[in-house]
Each structure stands twice: as C-alpha cells, then as structure tokens.
Structure 1
Amino acid sequence: MTNIKVLWVDDEIDLLKPHIIFLEKKSYDVTTCQSGMEAIEVVKNEAFDIVFLDENMPGLTGLETLSEIKAIRSDLPVIMITKSEEEYIMEEAIGSKIADYLIKPVNPNQILLSLKKNLDHSRLVSERTTQNYQQEFRKISMELTNLETYQDWVEMYQKLIYWEMELENIEDSGMFEILESQKNEANIEFCKFIEQNYPSWFDKNANAPILSHTLFKKKILPEISKDQPTLLVVIDNLRYDQWKAFESTIANNYKKVEESPYFSILPTATQYARNAIFSGLMPSDMEKIYPEYWLNDTDEGGKNQFEEEFLNAQLNRLGKDFKTQYHKITNVSKGKKLADNFRSQKDNDLTVLVYNFVDMLSHSKTELEVIKELASNDKSYRSLTQSWFKNSPLLDIIQQAQGLGFKLILTTDHGTINVKHPSKVIGDKNTSLNLRYKTGRSLTYNEKDVVVAKDPKKIHLPSINMSSSFIFAKENYFLAYPNNYNYYVNYYKNSYQHGGISLEEMIIPFVILNPK
C-alpha cells in the first residue's frame, strides 16, 4: 500500500518542521509549499490525498488558494489552518467545502487526528459498524424464535432496517449478505406468527395492532382539528425503509411528533388495504354495505375509484363535519398542478393526498422493467425513492404545507417485497391475477409456500363464490402458473410485488409531524 500524500501550504513552513517529521515517522509522505501560487502549480502536476492550507499568507490568501485548488481538483480534501476564529472566514471556508479546519497553534496529534478523521473515516466507520453488527447478530438470532407479540415484531423489523441501512455503505459485502440471510430468517418466523395470530386480531377485545381499517379512526382522526389544517399524505407502495431513506429531507421542514408503524391487512394490495383505510371497514363489510363502491378481483373496472366516497361515508358515520378535500396524484403533471395551487387548500380542516409513487417512476406502462433496471435490490430501491422524492412535486407540496402551518401525517397502504422464488399454482379462469395472493375456487398450490384462508369470512374477506379461498405467498415467493412457466418466472423474478405476507409488505410507516 502506497503512503498517503499530504501537501502542506504555509508561508512559515520552516517552523512546522517538527510536525512534518512527526507525520513522516507515521509513514505519511509530506510535500511543502510556502505560497498559494506555488501550491496551485504543485496541485496541477502532482496527485495528493489531502492538503493542509494556511489561511493567512502574503500574496494569495488561503481562501483564494482554496478556490483555485478546488477548481483544479474539486474532490481533493482541504483542511484550513487559521490564526483567526472570525466568523466570516469560517463561513467562507465552510461554504467552499473545506474538509476540516484547525486553529493555530496546532499540535502534531491534532494534525494526525484530522488526517484520520478525513482519510480513514469510511474505513473506521466500516470497521466499527461491522463490529457492532457482529455483536448484535447473535442477539437478533436468539430473539427471532422468541417473538410473541406484534409489538415485538415491529421492534425487530425496525432493528433489521436500522442495521441494513448502517451496513449498506460499508466495504465488507459479506456482512451485508449475513444480514440478508437474517432478514430471510425473520420473514420465515414472521409468516408463522401471522398464520397463527392474524385471524384472532378481529376478535372483540383482542390485543391487535392498528390495522388498515382502524388506522383512520384510532390514529388519524384524533389529529384533525378546526384549529390547524392537516395534510394526510398516503404514498402508495411505501415501505418502512423507503420512508427512512427520505426522512431527513422532510426534517428540513417538519419535526417528527410520532412514528408508529402499523399493519396492512391481507391481502397487502391497494384495492383491499387502501379502501380499508378510507372506509374504516374490512373488505367483506365494504362489499356488504357499499356494493356500489366495492369490486372483487375478477370484476371489471378500477378497484380504487371510490376512496373519496368511502372517506366521506366514514366521516359521516363518525359524526364529523370537517371541511375535507381529496386528491389522487397518478402522474407528474397532476402533482405539479396541485403544487401550483396548493395555497387554495389552506382553509380545509383535512386535505387528503394519495400519491401513486410507483406510477411516478415512469410515464409508460413499463414500470416493472424500469424498476427492475434501476432498483435491482432494496438498497438501490431506497436510493431511487430518495431521488424521486427530492425531485417530486410532493416535496414542493410538503414545503408549502409547512409554510401554511399544516400538520403533516404521512403513511401508506402497504409495502412491497423483492420476489425471488416461484411457486406453482393452478386455478380456473376466474382466479385472480396478483402474484402474491390468489383468490378463487379449486386452487392447487404448494402448501409450504403459502398461507391458506379456506374460509375468507374468518379474516373478513369477500368470497367470489361459495367455495372460494385465498392463498397468500410467504416470504419472497411469487405465484406462477404452469403455462409459459419459464418465461413468466424470468420476467417477474427480482421484481417488486405486494399482496402477500412479509415484514416488508405488512409493517408499514405511519408518521405525525408538526411544521418547524
């Protein structure tokens, strides 16, 4: 490994000889200059890893030299050394993207610490993160088989996401693979937990989590008042880790009051989960009470065309007369139009914004190919989400909402999972088409890959006919028909799907924020 090359620029460089000898003994290769002009010429002709730059020099000042160096090598870290702590010098230096600054007189250990902080930072962070996760790994493995409540599972999932995001930037890819296997193990245990406990969550007085159909009444309604406008944003398909990826962007305008992930109902699909949020009802009750609004899987037509009507009906049922407006954003132009006119929402008690995030990623009907290409794994999917959010009309709307004093509630209807393993299923022509769940009669399937609901009424789902059942894909399986099996499998493998049972699809974000 070659020595790290340091350029030290100071008009009194001879006085710094002891510091330079100290660094050379630590195997740093130090080149010295006595003026800004000399430093600029040296940087043009030689490659350095880092620069120490005196701010107060005759001729070109340190700040002027910094600007010239950055014009030549924008990525070269520069540590400013100054006698002065005047605020304008610090502001100019920091604005010019210095890596660090030190106040004279400096001692050799300060210099060494600054070098390590700036050059070894990623390595030191990587080593510490790996070491910490190794310590946590055994603890997580032991806990996985002993999780008894839905609260335990929420905490475990949050812990796994924390480590996934900590490990994603470290150099040791092996640790990331270990975490991936631990996530797979967690999903195996989570599916067992859901299979055993989900039906009982609908019993009276059950210790049940907040579910899609109880979210509005129990969590959203208490936050709405006539004293402060509320903006409810429901981002379609948003996983908990994707929320964490852009949380810091929202933090520029809003401070978090509460973050309490909740559970999507089964199937974890838009027509079931999102209609349940707005109606406050489970699907079998929606079908029974509002047959004019509810469509089953095999019915023709859009399945989420009456969310506004469901919401108004729920508010009436709850005896609330809030001034409410509902918006569904399915393309960028609709988002920009609302952003351009958002001030008109300020007199509402509740403004509801459903944002079809996946549709935003592509204007064409090839969302699947686009996401497969740009987001081949969870890390890149998070990165894509973050990039989308930072450049979306939604961020503009949220920034305007802050300026108008809106409370912000951000949530989703269900998450999504990267599917890896096909599982064959056979059904008649009336079987539903979703890859993560099927409903129909006479279904043939591999029992180890699915959770079966032979009597849909027990989990408050409608039956298309008397003998209909539901099956939900476990973990990262997807359901494939025998016809054109290989083509089908290759097309959908490593794509993001929803409707089944996994931590990623079921444990989803709910966040309350106040404007800064």
Structure 2
Amino acid sequence: MIQILWVDDEIDLLKPHILFLEKKNYEVTTCKSGSEAIDALEEHPFDIVFLDENMPGLTGLETLNEIKSKQDNLPVVMITKSEEEYIMEEAIGNKIADYLIKPVNPNQILLSLKKNLDHSRLISEKTTSNYQQEFRKIAMDLAMVNTYKDWVELYQKLIYWEIQLEDIEDIGMMEILESQKIEANSQFGKFIEKVYADWFNSNSDEAPTMSHTLFKQKVVPELSKDQPTLMVVIDNLRYDQWKALEPVINTYYKKTREDAFLSILPTATQYARNAIFSGLMPSEMEKLFPEYWRNDTDEGGKNMFEAEFLDTQMKRLGLKNLNYEYHKITNLKTGKKLLENFNSLKNNDLTVIVYNFVDMLSHSKTEMEVVKELASNDKAYRSLTLSWFKNSPLFALIQQAQQQGFKLILTTDHGTINVKNPSKVIGDRNTSLNLRYKTGRSLTYEGKDVYEAKNPKDIHLPVLNMSSSFIFAKGDLFFAYPNNYNHYVSYYRNTYQHGGVSLEEMIIPFVVCEPR
C-alpha cells in the first residue's frame, strides 16, 4: 500500500481529501508542523510527502530543505496559497515533485500521486499500447517503401520507438521491434542493391544527398560572413546516438534543421569522410589527388589529408573569401587544448572540428572486455556515448560556441552496426581486412549475404587491379575467414563494425542549430 505523509497546520480541514484517498487504498499519515514531519520520516518510510508551504515554526521551504538533506529521492509535493514567483523557484530548485495552489481538490491530489508514483507504469502501459498499434503500420510501410525518402522516414520511426521502448519493462515489445529492424535492414539491403549505382548517373533525379555532395548541398547554404559557423563531424555517430545527445545540446542551441543524408559505400572513414571534405567520390580523389588518397592496401594513415581536401573543395566552390580552419581531435589532450584556444576561432567564418571518440569507442568494444560489458547492446551504446559527451571537451566547445554566437552544424561520416552473424569469405593475402566490406581479387562469398560491385567503377570506387571487386555485408552480418573460424566468430560477434550496408551505417544525421 502507498504510504503518504501529509503535512499541514490546518490538516483537520483536509479530512474529506484524506477519506477520499483512503477509499482509493492509499494510507495517509498526518502532521501539523515541519518538525513533526521530520520526526515521522525518521520513524517510518513514506512513498511521498504533501507539504504545506505556509506553516508556523519551520516553514514549508525549510522543512523541504530538511527532508531533501536526509532523503533526496523522496518525492515532495508543495502545496501553497501563495503564487509568488520566488517561492515557486525555491521549491523547484529543491527538486520538488509537483507544485499545487490552494484550494486543492481531491482529484488534483490523485493526479499528482499518479504522476509521481505510477508514472513509469502508466507510461510503460501507454507506450506498449501505442507501439502495438504502430507495429501494424510499420509492417505495412515495410511492404511498400520504395524511395530513399520513405526509408529515412521508416528508419526515424524505428529509432523513435526504440528509444521510447528502452525504459519499459516489457521485453517482448523490444524483441518485436528488433525483429522489425532486422526485416527493415533486409529490405533496405535489397533497395540499395537495386538503386545505389543508378544514383551516380548524371541524369538521376532520385539521388539523395550523399557524402560527396553533403558540403555543397547542405553546408555551403548555411555559411555566412555575418555569423561564424562551427561544423562538428563526430566520427561514427549513428542517428540514434544523435537523438540521445539532442536534449543536452538543446539547452544551449535551438535546432533549426534536421535532415538525414546517405553515407557512401564503403561506410568507412577513409571513404566517407574523405568524400565529405573533398566533395569527390573515391575514384575521383585517387585520380585527381594521388598525393592525398590512400587505398586499403596502401601503407600509412588513410585520413591524413582532410584539411587539404577541404581546401581544394572550398576553392572549387568559389569560397576563397571565407576564413576557415580545420581541426582533428583524437584524444583528450588535443580536445582540451582547442578549448583553451577557442577565442581564437571567433574570427573564422567556418571552423571544422572532426571528433574521433565514438569511433574509438566502437573499436574499443571489439578489443576491451570492459567496454563490451558497458556497451553490450544499442541502448547501452547510446548511454555510454551520452555519458562521454556530457563530460567531454566537445560539449564544452559547443557551450563556448553558443556563448559567442556561433551557428552549429553537427554531423558524421557514417554509422555503425552491432554485428551478430558471420558470413564466410575467402580471398588472397591482399584482400582488405575490414569485417563489413572486402576488396580484392577472386573473392569467394555467399551471394545472398552481400551487395557486390564486380566493377568498382560503377559506384565510383578505385580499381586496384583488373580483376578486383568490392563486396559489402548486409544487415548485421560480418565477414569471417574459414581459418580459425570459431575463434574469429566468437571474438567479433556482438561488436560494432562499419563499412557495409545497413540503415544504421548509411542513414546518418545532419543538424543545424542556432544559439539560444
């Protein structure tokens, strides 16, 4: 039975309210002063306190402070005759659960109880009910979706429900949603096979904004000499992770635009992020800038010349009159150093920051057992990303940008997927090592598991030699060699990988915000 402590120096006048609650199976203990209430709380556990603000002796606010100092998580509902703003602010600042103005009627009290004590259960039941209705619509949409725009809307809907359902206790609902995500990725893989190469046809009107067209189509229209812009590219940020970060950023920035765009294949940093900064597809980068481009089989870092690529694109787009800088943050030290020097960026029209933490997190999950425990599923992965962000130099940089009036553009190069099932592949010693895509000669693989590009030129990828091809794993598959197969599969199963074809890797966020 729910135990209520009601504190009011005129408690006798509230007898009808108390009888009403007792008929609803609540147990009510009454006190006439703050000091009595504090004594009662030390002797007996209560689920919630109704507290009068205006009492002789200890005032309601003083009593509230005493209660919170001893039981910070105990819900306290403040009841007052006064509507003075400072009292409301004091009470709210002390984490009250609710604020009611006298005279209160029994139904107001009941509603406050439901809101504070049955909140989780009611939300869980309503969310489950709503998703059960939406499930049928999503299933129908899956059968009919046939354009990129349709896929974006469907994927955003799946993310919405995944986040809504993550805190409810009905495991069955999450299992149903997971099955819908698997089916969606299966259908999305078929869609990409059908249309991806056609999107590079110069006559295609259906092509979405992709990595190599992102800067020209979405970033440039936002740039101005009247307001500095901070563009943050968080490597490997999935759409659902952006939705987890959004409420935190929303405190400082007001979102004015949110779009999705498509990461090119392979959904890997050396391809997708170089394409963003160069405004070119990989085969064009290889041809025009061989001094900057590195293929999978080449030695050395694959993203060492993003600043140079950005410079060539700015000139090609006629933006030489804009002042811009590029910074890459790969560790805490460089993040803090940039934060210390942030004032020096205010004279730039565009400051681009590439932040690598989320990518490092996904790779750490593969290599470190503790991270595997902390990010065991998508919900935990989102939570860990949010925890990092709230305590990162990047968040402090965004706060600084807001204070100095910067426009904020936040985006990524590709997403990542939790891989579950192996798909056997055989290649020679020169075959690329990525688990979600392979390029090489004479590849042997399961055709149903992959999107294959036998002629890489069709999708504007480099041709390493006459017989080389690319294959991309679909859904939650990852490539495994027959040698030492069981150990390999056990090691990589349930890790986050990228490079292949999935909603999580390819449909990624582009967000524009104005400072509050």
Q: TM-score, normalised to structure 2's length?
A: 0.97
Deviation (angstroms), 1:369: 3.9
**Equivalent position SS for 1:281:** coil
1:24-423 counterparts in 2 under 5 A? 24-206=22-204, 207-321=206-320, 322-358=322-358, 361=361, 369-423=369-423
Distance in 1 of aligned mates of 2:228 and 2:466:
46
Q: Which residue of the partner structure matches residue 481 of structure 1? A: 481
- Residue 280 of structure 1: how far off its partner (Å): 0.7
User: Does the 8 Å contact 1:332/1:360 carry over to 2?
Assistant: no
Corresponding position of 1:463: 463
CA distance in 2: counterparts of 1:371 and 1:159, whole angstroms: 28
SS at match of 2:422: strand
CA–CA separation in structure 1 for the residues paired with 2:126 and 2:289: 56
Paired residues of 1:409 and 1:512 also in contact (CA < 8 A):
yes
In 2: Cα distance, 1:42 partner to 1:492 partner: 56
Counterpart amino acid of residue 443 in structure 1: L
What is the SS of the residue equivalent to 1:464? Answer: coil
User: 8 Å contact 1:272–1:283 — kept in the other structure?
Assistant: yes
Counterpart in the other structure of 1:8: 6
* Cα separation, 2, equivalents of 1:363 and 1:479: 16
Query: In structure 1, how many angstroms separate the alpha carbons of the residues matched to 2:94 and 2:423?
Result: 56
C-alpha displacement at 1:319, in angstroms?
A: 2.1
1:498 and 2:498 correspond: yes
- Secondary structure at the aligned position of 2:310 is classed as helix
Matched AA of 2:94: S
Change (3 A) 1:141 1:366: closer
User: Letter of the aligned partner of 1:339 in structure 2?
Assistant: L
For the aligned residue pairs, the C-alpha RMSD in angstroms reads 1.5
Contact 1:358–1:367 at 8 Å: present in 2 too? no
| Structure 1: stretches of 5+ with no match in the other structure | none
C-alpha change, 1:131 and 1:364, in structure 2 (3 Å) is closer
State the AA in 2 paired with 1:190.
Answer: F
Aligned partner of 1:480: which letter? A
Answer whether contact 1:284 1:461 (CA < 8 A) is retained.
yes
Contact 1:371 1:495 in 2 (8 A): no
- Residues 213, 282 of structure 1: 8 Å contact kept: yes
Q: Is the 8 A contact 1:368 1:495 kept in 2?
A: no
2: CA distance, partners of 1:60 / 1:228: 53
Question: In the TM superposition, what is the alpha-carbon distance from 1:232 to its structure 2 partner?
Answer: 1.1
CA distance in 2, matches of 1:148, 1:315: 35
In the alignment, structure 2 segments of 5+ residues that lack a partner are none
Q: CA deviation at 1:309?
A: 0.7
Aligned-partner SS, 1:261 = strand
Deviations 1:392-427 (CA, angstroms, capped at 9, x unpaired): 101111111122221111110000000000111111
**SS at 2:379's partner residue?**
helix
More deviation in 398-407 or 363-372? 363-372
Which moved further from structure 2: 365-374 or 4-13? 365-374
Matches of 1:371 and 1:181, distance apart in 2: 25
Q: In the alignment, is the contact (CA less than 8 A) between 2:427 and 2:442 conserved in 1?
A: yes
Any conservation in 1 of the 2:436–2:477 contact (CA below 8 Å)?
yes
Shift of 1:72: 2.0
Alpha-carbon distance, 1:373 to partner:
2.1
**Structure 1 residues 128, 365: closer, same or farther in 2, change over 3 A?**
closer
In 2, distance between residues paired with 1:335 and 1:191? 37
Counterpart in the other structure of 2:21: 23
- Closer, same or farther in 2 for the Cα pair 1:189/1:132, shift >3 Å? same
Distance in 2, Cα, partners of 1:303 & 1:256:
33
d(CA) in 1 for partners of 2:207, 2:421: 31
Task: Give, in whole Å, the separation in 2 of the partners of 1:365 and 1:72.
Answer: 39
Residue deviations 1:331-361 (CA, integer Å, cap 9, x gap): 0110000001011011111111111023665
Deviation sequence 1:100-141 (CA, Å, 0-9, x none): 121112111111111111111111111111111111100100
Distance 1:114 1:107 in 2: 11
Do the aligned residues in 1 keep the contact of 2:210 with 2:264 (CA within 8 Å)?
A: yes
- Aligned length, in residue pairs: 514
After superposition, the C-alpha distances for 1:178-199 in whole angstroms (9 at most, x for unaligned) are 1111111100000000000100
User: In the superposition, relative to structure 1, how do residues 359 and 135 fare at CA in structure 2: closer, same or farther (>3 Å)?
Assistant: closer
Once the two structures are superposed, what CA deviation does each residue of 1:419-456 show, in whole Å capped at 9, x if it has no partner?
00011111100000000000001111111211111111
Matched residue SS, 1:257 = strand
Counterparts of 1:505 and 1:344, CA distance in 2: 35
Aligned partner of residue 144 in structure 2, secondary structure: coil
| 1:259 Cα offset (Å) | 0.7
User: Retained in 2: the 8 A contact 1:331–1:360?
Assistant: no
| Contact 1:418–1:476 (Cα < 8 Å) also in 2 | yes
Amino acid at match of 1:429: R
Structure 1 212/493 Cα, relative in aligned 2: closer, same or farther at 3 Å? same
1:513 maps to: 513
Identical amino acids, percent of aligned pairs: 75
Residues in 1 aligned to 2:295 and 2:35: alpha-carbon distance in whole angstroms: 75
Instruction: Give, as a single letter, the amino acid of the residue that structure 1 aligns with 2:98.
Output: D
Quote the Cα distance in structure 2 between the aligned partners of 1:280 and 1:138.
41
- Counterpart contact for 2:363–2:496, Cα < 8 Å: no
> CA–CA distance in 1 between the matches of 2:463 and 2:472?
15
Distance 1:88 1:14 in 2: 28
Deviations 1:353-401 (A, max 9, x none): 1110236659989765453221111111111111111111011111111
Which AA in structure 1 matches 2:212? H
